[in-house]
A and B are shown apart, each in its own frame.
Chain A
Amino acid sequence: MTARLGIDVGGTFTDVVVFEESGRTVVEKVPSTPHDASIGILNGIEQIKRTRGVDVSALSVFAHGSTVATNALLESKLPRTALVVTEGFRDVLEIGTQMRPDLFNLAAPKVKPYVPRKLVFEAAERVDRLGGVVTPLSDESIASVVESVKASGVEAVGIALLFSFRNAEHEQRIADALREAIPGLSVAISSAVAPEIKEYQRASTTVVSAALQPLVARYMAGILDGLQDVGVTAPMFVMQSNGGTMTAEEASVNAHRMVLSGPAAGVLAATRVAEQPEYADLITFDMGGTSTDIALIAEGRAALERETEFEGRPLLVPQFAIHTIGSGGGSLARVDESGALRVGPESAGAVPGPACYGRGGTRPTTTDAQLVLGRIDPKRFLGGEMDLDIEAAREAIRVHVAEPLGMELAEAAAGILEVADAVMARGARVVSVNRGHDPRDFHLLPFGGAGPMHALSVGAIVDVAGVIVPLNPGTFSAVGLSGSDVKYDFFTLVDVGMESTSAAEVEAICAGLIVEAEERLASAGVQSTTHLRVARFRYAWQDNDVEVVIGDAPIDDAALEDAVARFHERHLFEFGHSDASEKVELYSIGIEAVGTLQRPETGTAGAAPAASATPDSSRPVYFRETGWNDTPVYERENLAPGAVFQGPAIVEEREATTVVTPNVSGVVDPGGNLVLTYNKEVSA
């Protein structure tokens, strides 16, 4: 038998999922251990062994999502790191983009570079835009850089020279000399980390990669030791921000690819749902305690971005295009001095958390509002592991919202939710409308503990076709990890007019990248590989390029022609205009190399006959439209495929609660997903 283990380390909980050959998915949730995440991971494995009888020695793959890199950046707990740049560009990090962080605050500080100015060293050298050497790099110059780095006593160094993505020789020579002279030094070069134009963004990413190397290497070694102790012998993989995993060794040298991996596993799991043609267009809605992550999946594919930022500093790394809004289950509600009701962006966070957590929070959050309105069962929150204090929630809402506004308690709580939904709907529209899509063609796919509670009301504002609540929404990221594959992105910046290149030239570049990819994937022990060729085109006079996925077959003339035609189509769709007579440039050509890992075989269920579901219980629940009503409560595990039900209703499972609003119909599909659609108003 083969089984796969996925573990997602969150701020509060560590989720453990085992995906077995029988098709069974086993889920556990244990507290996270922020000072040393590996303790929580090992506890989780021990617990799933004990309570669910999982034989961990038979696991074929262990994939995990880690916040070690993210937290190190957030807390600025980075080793002393230096940067080597081209002469004249010592201030590349200090200057940044020169843009203002806050337009209306005269004292707003710019973000502090990870490398202070005194640890930035210049090398006399210059390469031009085509890679030609303008100023050669002398051995004396290298020796001098080495001496400065040595004297500075740093643990890591990034090297980011101008146009190194065209000619990496100068960077490599400096890196070799540094490694030789300073044993144990972590070195990252920009031509390998982010071979893309824009010196500031590339240098910033390179510095992050270098600084994280020693930390991540130590972390990986620690977990690998611990895994042996608990009997896990399966190879370990780590989530990247591009939705694929990498080996632990790869992570130790490409640590920057972990930084934005937190929300990626959930989106990856959503793309598995989107493999079904009828769910190919989804807006994911991952609602946590302090923020909500929203991403768009169109035609089964989650869009990737190459440039994003973390804590105000740019990162050039392929990642799912995820829009984060500062609104979640812990968002605080308040009445401002003009009598307006505001929700967020302030959050109660994990500590003290919502008032109902009883950890000292006295101000109301959206979670408190859900509880007061009967949508959450206080005895069953997180499988009953956490008793919620409903009186504290009522008091918080009464004092801070209901009384100042002169409203009934329930009306005030419903108001808090309505405002929170309006804020979140803004984010969901950003990812869809702003990329040229019509949200009415999409389903909202909620996950995270709070997602399914808000999905229908948010979806109504966004105007989506409906809502799909997947299986295990409360541990969905770990589900994604348990089904993940290894994925490496490689690309070459080409930047030529289409008239001066050919299919043969383009395919030759791909072939070179594939050799490199095969080598890396082979060492990961994958079963099979595919190499999706991806081109980025643009009009000659324009900066924004458009990604076209060409396919996994070698590129011939017809394929390239077809790709250009699709570029014009995509451009028309996304930007509202296109011109087939304009000069087109190939900006870059690359591959997405995917190595599939051994995956348990699972059967697919056929369609089940429709049957009315029977509620397991009922309780009073408040909705603004209907007031307090005794409302049916369904146990998720008792809802078989084909079961149909009507809102208002509550669907409960151990890690999540789905709130089914009035005028909504639900049905369980063959895969176990809850499919919720808005009832069309009957026209008179």
Chain B
Amino acid sequence: MSTLATAAPVSTPPERRTDPITTEVVRNALETIAEEMGNALRRTALSVVVKDMRDYSCAVFDAEGRMVAAALDIPTLLASMAPALQACIEKWGDDIHPGDVFLNNHPYMGACQTNDMNMFVPVFDAEETLIGFTGVIAHHADWGGRIAGTAAAQSESAYEEGVLLPALKYEVRGVREQNLHDIITANVRHPSQNLGDLRAQIAAGRSGARRFSELAAKYGSPVLADAIADLFDSTAYRTSREIGKLADGRYEAEGWLDNDGIRLNEPVLMRVAVIVEGESITFDFTGSAPQMAGGMNIPNSTLRSVVHYSVKCLMPPDVSFNEGSLAPVSIIAPEGTAVNPAFPAAVGDRHLASQRLASIVTKALAFAAPDRASAEWFVGWPVLVCESRSPKSGDGAVLLANVAGGAGGNRFRDGSNAMDVHMGNCALIPAEIIETSYELRVERYELITDSGGAGAQRGGLGIRADYRNVSEKPLHFLSEAEQTNPAFPPNGLHGGDSGAVASLHLIDADGVEHALRSKGKGVAQSGEVVSLRAGGGGGFGPVADRPVEAVEADLRAGFISPSAAVAEYGFDAGRAAEVAGAGAVAAETVR
């Protein structure tokens, strides 16, 4: 099926079932439940990925599995939960009881990636009528499969991506399914971490479920259901109204992934047409490449997340985020393509592809919603994964470090420097934490001069991070980045120039740089440096519109070099050197 969602916009103010005060109080209560679950999970989880990188999301659903309220943590995970829950409901039907716990990580049953484990708890009222669900999705650092960490661009099938749990019950009426538990324990690399996080997911879900039933007791289940229906309607109406304010038309954009993870020299096309028609909006991905051989295919629930994210970016901040947000939205994605793959295509690195796709969608929307537009952001997500040792304890420790690129320039201002990608929000690990926890020394975290695209509003700059192996032993690492192909940089908008692309390097003991492949394994000998270099954002508007003072300020700050001022902004070479010189004295490293 290539139509994944069909628009049903709400054009007239919805008829209310409850009074607006009750709806608003209930909305706050439900959002509080989602937030409390998120905080409880972060507090009680074991793994660094959940606790520190905060790679999880929590939400509350109605009895049909529609998302009612969510804690807005990681956008890419949020919209993927409802399809995963609906698969559980479809599978188990009436066989859903108090005390049950569902797990689903099957990318072809509504989940998005095997590491991202969905956990759902059904919620019942005092009469034991099913009134909804609470859900917690959390990224498990490893879920078995062919390599440590499970997800990899090189995987060629979902069978290489760890244990699939196709909407299973982990607990039945409060009793753990020992067989399933033992299968999980036997198939993951660090089971204590997984089981600790699973326990935290279940505890958070159960505490949310308790609050949800208390709410039903307070208002009565029918009133609560009415209030939830009113919430959907009101969000659907407001979202439809906002879509209605966009100019009708067909807005197209395309972009390329560097490769599919296997055939490294073959770029992969992704394409979208956004069609705005009154209060409906269609996202048609027809024309995107056939499904990829490697692990970067975008499963349905992640595609839904991309669309959900893009729609939310069009909304004023006070429009709620729930099932109603997708009412005016149609999604079309032909089967067997990179954006609607068929089982068992691998999907483990779908985040790299989906970040790129989000960028392409925002590029199309730039013309539909000029006020909310920006030039393209850098979305290559350079990452270093390695197994080092803790200098304190000598124990092995896995590092996953990513560095941000630049945001695109926009109507109001230059793009921000060093901003994490669309759909994600991961923190830069402090240099002092890295040196304390691994046998690595960060030699620089700095912005890359000239990496932002020129324009009336310049694109933001990307980060260069250099990690020196200070161990006596060689360091085996995996380094990955998208958007390394100079043919497909972050594009400018309305005449702005493109930002720089990413690159990965190994710097040997003599200081000689060796370019690394965009995705692959490597070894850094003792004293050698792995250098990640992110790209920059695209520029907005023609270069000629950039005020001279802004260019001079960039020169003084070192955001652009004198030669870029000459080449891009038509500065006189002497003047450029003079302005930069005033700042350069200050910036020069002193020995």
Q: Does A106 contact B (CB under 8 A)?
A: yes
B336 at interface, CB cutoff 8 A: no
**In the assembled complex, how far is the CB of residue A84 from the closest CB belonging to chain B, in whole angstroms?**
10
Given A104-B309, A422-B28, check contact A98 B317 (CB 8 Å): no
Chain B 25-66 against A: per-residue CB contact (8 Å), 1 yes, 0 no? 100110110011001100110101001100000000000000
For B51, list chain A residues within 8 Å (CB).
542-544
B444 close to A (CB within 8 Å): yes
Question: Which residues on B sit within 8 Å (CB–CB) of A95?
Answer: 404, 417-418, 428, 445-447, 463
Closest chain-A Cβ to B308's Cβ sits at a distance in Å of 10
A497 contacts which of B233, B392, B426 (Cβ < 8 Å)? B392
Complex-state Cα separation, A162 to B446, whole angstroms = 15
Chain A residue, CB-CB nearest to B38: A434
Whether A106 contacts B392 by the Cβ 8 Å rule is no
- Which A residue sits closest to B413, measured CB to CB? A109
In the complex, what residues of B have CB within 8 A of residue A429's CB? Answer: 32, 36
CB-nearest residue of chain B relative to A574?
B43
Give Cα distance in the complex from A220 to B360, angstroms: 56
Do residues B24 and A141 form an inter-chain contact, with CB atoms below 8 A? Answer: no
B181 at the interface (CB under 8 A from A): no
Q: How far is the CB of B389 from chain A (nearest CB, A)?
A: 13
Contacts of A430 in B (CB 8 A): 35-36, 39
Residues of A within 8 A of B408 (CB): 106
Q: Indicate which residue in B46, B443, B446, B590 contacts A148 across the interface (CB closer than 8 Å).
A: B590
- Interface status of B380 (Cβ within 8 A of chain A): no
Report the bound CA distance from A151 to B582 in whole Å.
10
| Chain B residues within an 8 Å CB radius of A123 | 590
Stretch at the interface among B143-151, B234-242, B254-262: B234-242
- Determine if A98 and B234 form an interchain contact, defined as CB atoms under 8 angstroms apart: no
A475 to chain B, nearest CB (A): 31
B416 surroundings in chain A (CB, below 8 A): 108-110
- Interface residue A88 (Cβ < 8 Å from any Cβ of B): yes
Interface membership of B179, Cβ < 8 A: no
Indicate whether A285 reaches chain B with its CB closer than 8 angstroms: no
Q: Is the CB of B25 within 8 A of A419?
A: yes
- Chain A residues positioned under 8 Å from B435 (CB to CB): 128-129, 163
In order of increasing CB-CB distance, the 10 nearest A-B pairs are A144-B590, A88-B444, A576-B44, A415-B21, A338-B234, A98-B404, A422-B28, A434-B39, A107-B410, A110-B416
B362 touches A106 (CB 8 A): yes
Expressed in whole angstroms, the minimum distance between the Cβ of B408 and any Cβ of chain A is 7
A340 & B234 in contact (Cβ 8 Å cutoff): yes
Would A98 and B436 be within 8 Å (CB), given that A110-B419, A337-B241, A543-B52 are in contact?
Answer: no
Question: Can you add 14 more A-B contacts, CB < 8 Å, to A98-B420, A116-B557, A118-B583?
Answer: A88-B443, A89-B431, A92-B445, A95-B446, A96-B428, A117-B559, A120-B587, A151-B585, A197-B430, A197-B433, A337-B241, A338-B237, A543-B51, A543-B52
The reply to whether B427 and A97 contact each other, CB–CB distance below 8 Å, is: yes
Q: Tell me the residues in window 92-126 of chain A with beta carbons closer than 8 Å to chain B beta carbons.
A: 92, 94-100, 103-110, 116-124
Chain A contacts for B373, CB-based, 8 A: 106
Flag if B36 contacts A337 (CB, 8 Å). no
Interface residues of A (CB under 8 A from B): 87-92, 94-100, 103-110, 116-124, 128-129, 134, 138, 140-141, 144-145, 148, 151-152, 162-163, 197-201, 335-343, 405, 415, 418-419, 422-423, 425-426, 429-430, 433-436, 461, 495, 497, 540, 542-544, 574-577, 583, 585
A96 contacts across to B, CB distance below 8 A: 418, 428
Nearest-CB distance from B399 to chain A (Å)? Answer: 14
Q: Tell me if A90 and B44 are in contact (CB < 8 A).
A: no
Is there contact, CB below 8 Å, between A419 and B24?
Answer: yes
- Contact status A340-B372, CB under 8 Å: no
Q: In the bound complex, do residue B39 and residue A198 qualify as a contact, i.e. CB atoms below 8 Å apart? A: no
Report B524-558 CB contacts with A as 1/0, cut-off 8 Å.
Answer: 00000000000000000000000000000000111
Could you say which of B14, B433, B463 contacts A198, with CB atoms under 8 Å apart?
Answer: B433
State A110–B46 Cα separation when bound (angstroms): 31
Please determine whether A118 and B32 come into contact, CB atoms closer than 8 angstroms. Answer: no
Cα separation A96 to B35 with both chains bound (whole Å): 25
For B402, the closest partner residue in chain A by CB is: A98
Q: Is the CB of A151 within 8 A of B43?
A: no
Which B residues touch A435, using CB under 8 A? 43
Q: Chain A residues with Cβ under 8 A from B44's Cβ?
A: 575-577
Q: In the complex, A423 Cα to B318 Cα: how many Å?
A: 14
Q: How far, in angstroms, from A672 to B444 measured CA to CA in the complex?
A: 60
* B392/A118 in contact, CB under 8 A: no
Tell whether, in the assembled complex, residue B590 and residue A98 are in contact, meaning their CB atoms are under 8 Å apart: no
- Bound form: Cα–Cα A46–B329 in Å: 66
B412 adjacent to chain A (CB < 8 Å): yes
| Contacting residue for B589 out of A124, A199, A422, A543, CB 8 A | A124
Binding site for A on B (CB under 8 A): 13-14, 16, 19-21, 23-25, 28-29, 31-32, 35-36, 39-40, 43-44, 46, 48, 51-52, 72, 75, 196, 199-200, 203, 233-235, 237-238, 241, 309, 312-313, 315, 317-318, 362, 372-374, 377, 391-393, 395, 403-404, 407-408, 410-413, 416-420, 425-428, 430-433, 435-436, 441-447, 463, 466, 556-559, 583, 585-587, 589-591
B24 touches A151 (CB 8 A): no
**CB of B497 to closest CB in A, whole Å:** 18
Q: Is the CB of B29 within 8 A of A199?
A: no
Q: Are B393 and A199 neighbours in the complex by a CB distance under 8 Å?
A: no
Query: Least Cβ distance of B377 to chain A in Å?
Result: 8
Contacts of B427 in A (CB 8 A): 97-99
- Contacting residue for A151 out of B48, B403, B586, CB 8 A: B586
Checking B39, B362, B372, B556 against A118 with a beta-carbon cut-off of 8 angstroms, the contacting residue is: B556
> Which residues of B are found within 8 Å of A163, using beta-carbon distances?
432, 435
* Residues of chain B with a CB closer than 8 A to A87's CB: 444, 589
Inter-subunit contact B372/A106 (CB<8 Å): yes
Residue pair B558, A426 in contact (C-beta under 8 Å):
no
CA distance A337 to B238 in the complex (A): 7
CB of A110 to closest CB in B, whole Å: 4
CA distance A453 to B518 in the complex (A): 61
Inter-subunit contact A89/B445 (CB<8 Å)? yes
B95 to chain A, nearest CB (A): 30
Which residues on the A side are within 8 Å of B586 (C-beta)?
Answer: 118-119, 121, 148, 151-152
Most buried by B among A89, A120, A338: A338
With beta carbons under 8 angstroms apart, the residue of B52, B317, B377, B391 that contacts A104 is B317
Nearest chain-A residue to B423 (Cβ)? A103
Are A90 and B446 touching (Cβ within 8 A)? yes
A sample of 26 cross-chain residue pairs with beta-carbon separation below 8 angstroms, ordered by A number, consists of A91-B417, A95-B418, A96-B418, A98-B463, A100-B420, A100-B425, A104-B313, A106-B373, A106-B377, A117-B557, A118-B557, A119-B586, A120-B587, A122-B587, A129-B432, A129-B435, A140-B590, A145-B590, A151-B585, A338-B235, A405-B20, A415-B20, A418-B25, A434-B40, A577-B46, A577-B196
Instruction: Return chain A residues, CB-CB under 8 Å to B39.
Output: 430, 433-434
* Assembly CA distance A422 to B52 (angstroms): 30
Given A106-B362, A119-B586, A429-B36, CB of A341 within 8 Å of CB of B24: yes
The answer for the CA separation of A426 and B441 in the assembled complex, in Å, is 43
Question: Please, how many angstroms separate the alpha-carbon atoms of A435 and B40 in the complex?
Answer: 8
The distance in angstroms between the C-alpha atoms of A340 and B13, with both chains bound, is: 11
Q: How far is the CA of A495 from the CA of B393 in the complex (A)?
A: 11
Contact present for A497 and B436 (CB under 8 Å): no
A495 CA to B14 CA, complexed, in Å: 59
Contact (A162, B431) CB under 8 Å given A341-B24, A540-B393: yes
Nearest A residue (CB) for B74: A103
Contact A98 B428 (CB under 8 A): yes
Contact of A103 with B432 in the complex, beta carbons under 8 Å = no
Q: Is the CB of A99 within 8 A of B426?
A: yes
User: Which residues from chain B contact A405 at a C-beta distance below 8 Å?
Assistant: 19-20
**Residues of B contacting A141 in the complex (Cβ-Cβ under 8 angstroms):** 590-591
Task: Name which residue of chain A comes closest to B430, CB basis.
Answer: A198
Q: Which residues of A contact B587 (CB under 8 A)?
A: 90, 117-118, 120-122
Chain A residues, CB < 8 A from B591? 124, 138, 140-141, 144
Measured between beta carbons, the chain B residues less than 8 angstroms from A124 are 589-591
Shortest Cβ distance from A145 into B: residue? B590
